[in-house]
């Protein structure tokens, strides 16, 4: 993943944001929409594109375009910074290779401890029953 090339491939749109802001919100486009075409990217290898396509399939459009938006701040510049940070975090998370799980079994002491606690619970319940003394 080449971040410099990816930065050049990104395109941004400024859109009018919803929410608090009073009259100011009606005249200023502070919401930022980041647009990234995954398959046309030159900053990603073919293997990376496939991983992104598989892991982020629910976030991609039919044309394999990733859209991210941010309207947290009232500042367009701050929103642009935030959406960029989110974009790279999302890519890094999608490209991260998961650790293989090693199969383990419980230790002998933990098995004994579990069985003892079960036995104790069973005896406690046995003591609750009514005895027929005849």
- 73 with 25: CB under 8 angstroms? no
Give the per-residue pLDDT at 41: 85
Q: DSSP assignment, residue 43?
A: S
The pTM is what?
A: 0.68
Domain boundaries, the chain: 3-95
Pull the structure tokens for residue 118.
Answer: 């079960």
Beta strand residue intervals within the chain, DSSP E: 11-15, 31-37, 65-70
SS3 at position 2: coil
State the 10-residue block means of pLDDT for the chain, 134 residues long.
85 79 73 89 88 89 89 87 93 90 94 97 89 72
- CA gap 127, 43 in Å, rounded: 71
CATH tag, 3-95: 3.30.160.20
Confidence (pLDDT) at 43? 86
d(C-alpha 114, C-alpha 41), whole Å: 55
pLDDT for the residue numbered 19: 65
Please state, in angstroms and rounded to a whole number, the distance separating the CA atoms of residues 91 and 61: 16
Q: Are 35 and 67 in contact (CB under 8 A)?
A: yes
Helix-, strand-, coil-residue percentages of the chain, each rounded to 5 = 50, 15, 35
């Amino acid at each position: 993943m080449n971040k410099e090339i990816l930065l050049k491939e990104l395109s941004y749109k400024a859109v009018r944001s919803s929410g608090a802001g009073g009259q100011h919100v009606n005249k200023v486009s502070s919401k930022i929409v980041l647009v990234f075409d995954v398959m046309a990217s030159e900053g990603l290898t073919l293997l990376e594109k496939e991983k992104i396509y598989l892991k982020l399939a629910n976030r991609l459009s039919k044309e394999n375009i990733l859209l991210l938006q941010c309207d947290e701040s009232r500042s367009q510049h701050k929103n642009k910074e935030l959406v960029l940070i989110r974009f790279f975090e999302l890519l890094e998370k999608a490209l991260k290779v998961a650790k293989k799980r090693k199969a383990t079994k419980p230790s002998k002491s933990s098995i004994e401890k579990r069985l003892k606690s079960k036995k104790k619970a069973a005896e406690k319940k046995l003591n609750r029953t009514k005895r027929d003394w005849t």
